[in-house]
Amino acid sequence: MQAVFKKEDITKALGVTLGVVEKKQTLPILANVLLEVNESSFHLTATDLESEVRTSGPLESVSSEGRTTTSAKKLNDLCRLIPDGSSIEIKLSGDKIQLKTPTGKYSLATLPSDDFPIFENQESGEQLNVNSKDLRKIFSTTSFAMGNQDWRHYLNGLYLELKDGFLTGVATDAHRLAINTFEVSSGSSFSGIVPRKSVNEMTKFLADADGEVSLLITDSSIELNTGNITFKSKLIDGNYPDFNQVIPSGDSFVLEVDVKELSESLSRVSVLSSDKYRGIRLNVSDGSLMVSANNPEEEAGEETLGVNYSGENIDIAFNVNYLQEILSHQEGNVCNIKFFGSDKSCLMLPPNADFPKYVVMPLLI
């Protein structure tokens, strides 16, 4: 294997793989990237056994085809530090690859490409073509509510459901719930739980995608194709809880509040909240919202905001981090908060819209 790469082409491709490369190195080869050279292009593949990403790029010239694996981090660090616009010759020589630039020579160890684990191609499954911006919005507006190393493994991911012509994303850590959905042109149906790490990688790839992307989903895996990037991931094995049962219903009182004003008030008052519980109290009455907090050191803070509200007085407490994360994902300037009582979960959503919707459980403080 011998070929000449443009620095920008190989560093861009390596950047795609770094998030997937296994950092704990349970197997040495998982720290490597598979480099394949053919007639006019190169391909890079990385895996952590749970997910796999494959991308490609053009070559300046090819002397001989071939494939090998080498450290993704070292190859990336080296290529990234080579001057912009440089050509890099990479040649496989024995159990090393030799990198050559106009001013330097470098040698990196390799491992046999035959030992590199590759995901099997999916022969069947539901394929769905969707707008990349819509899919990214599903992920970005819900994924922050996923569980993180929860013992209930099915919460450590994002639930995707295609049903009745709508693609819906749901995430929860049992303290808050996030749901968003959009209409798609499909009569098919499927559901599955995408692992946390895979959701984060897919969100990153979708940020650089334009136009339509394709999803291929089977009972045990999901595949995202954005053009020159193909990402595959196993799904979490388990049954996702019935999230519709968590969404509060019945009579409610609606608080209409300025997103920026409430967020800034929460930031100031929460400085004096308990470090352990991060509790903040909301006292809502006609036209008024009082935000207050205190801590074990007997420090306290409160602010009063003018709001649009008419209904019964509500005295309720929440983890301020949960409220702030939801407010940061509001696209408009105004957010509606529906209260169903001082001891029940609240529902947060944009005015005159049903999605994205967020459920937050109250704190008992």
Give the mean model confidence (pLDDT) for residues 237-242. 91
Q: What is the pLDDT of residue 252?
A: 92
- Tell me the per-residue pLDDT of 197-226, one tens digit each, with 9 for 90 and over: 999 999 999 988 888 999 988 888 999 999
**Neighbouring residues of 276: CB distance < 8 A, sequence distance ≥ 6:** none
Q: What is the pLDDT of residue 222?
A: 93
Phi, then psi, of 316 in degrees rounded to 5: -145, 150
For 126-244, which CATH superfamily applies?
Answer: DNA Polymerase III, subunit A, domain 2 (3.10.150.10)
- Tell me the per-residue pLDDT of 121-155, one tens digit each, with 9 for 90 and over: 766 677 889 999 999 999 999 999 999 988 899 99
CATH topology agreement for domains 126-244 and 248-360: yes
Phi, then psi, of 187 in degrees rounded to 5: -100, 5
- Tell me the per-residue pLDDT of 65-113, one tens digit each, with 9 for 90 and over: 999 999 999 999 999 999 999 999 999 999 999 999 989 999 999 999 9
For 2-115, which CATH superfamily applies?
Answer: DNA Polymerase III, subunit A, domain 2 (3.10.150.10)
346, two tokens: 């609240």
Q: How far is CA 180 from CA 17, 172, 237, in A?
A: 28, 12, 22
Say whether 364 sits in a helix, a strand or coil: coil
Confidence of residue 188 (pLDDT cuts 50, 70, 90): confident
Q: What is the pLDDT of residue 122?
A: 67
The Cα 360–Cα 362 span in angstroms is: 6
Least trusted range by pLDDT, from 11-25, 249-263, 327-341:
11-25
Q: What is the pLDDT of residue 91?
A: 96
Q: What is the pLDDT of residue 365?
A: 67
Q: What is the pLDDT of residue 113?
A: 94
State pTM to two decimals. Answer: 0.88
Confidence of residue 119 (pLDDT cuts 50, 70, 90): confident
Judge whether residue 306 has pLDDT over 90.
Answer: yes
Q: What is the pLDDT of residue 51?
A: 94
Judge whether residue 23 has pLDDT over 80.
Answer: no
**Token pair 């940020």: residue:** 207
User: Structurally, what CATH architecture does the domain formed by 248-360 represent?
Assistant: Roll (3.10)
Domain ranges of the chain: 2-115, 126-244, 248-360
- CA dihedral (279, 284, 287, 290) positive or negative: negative
Q: What is the pLDDT of residue 123?
A: 62
**Neighbouring residues of 65: CB distance < 8 A, sequence distance ≥ 6:** 1, 37, 38, 39
**Neighbouring residues of 99: CB distance < 8 A, sequence distance ≥ 6:** 78, 79, 88, 89, 90, 105, 106, 107, 108
- Tell me the per-residue pLDDT of 244-303, one tens digit each, with 9 for 90 and over: 999 999 999 999 999 999 999 999 999 999 888 889 999 999 999 999 999 999 999 999
233, two tokens: 């991931």
User: Radius of gyration over alpha carbons of the chain, in Å?
Assistant: 25
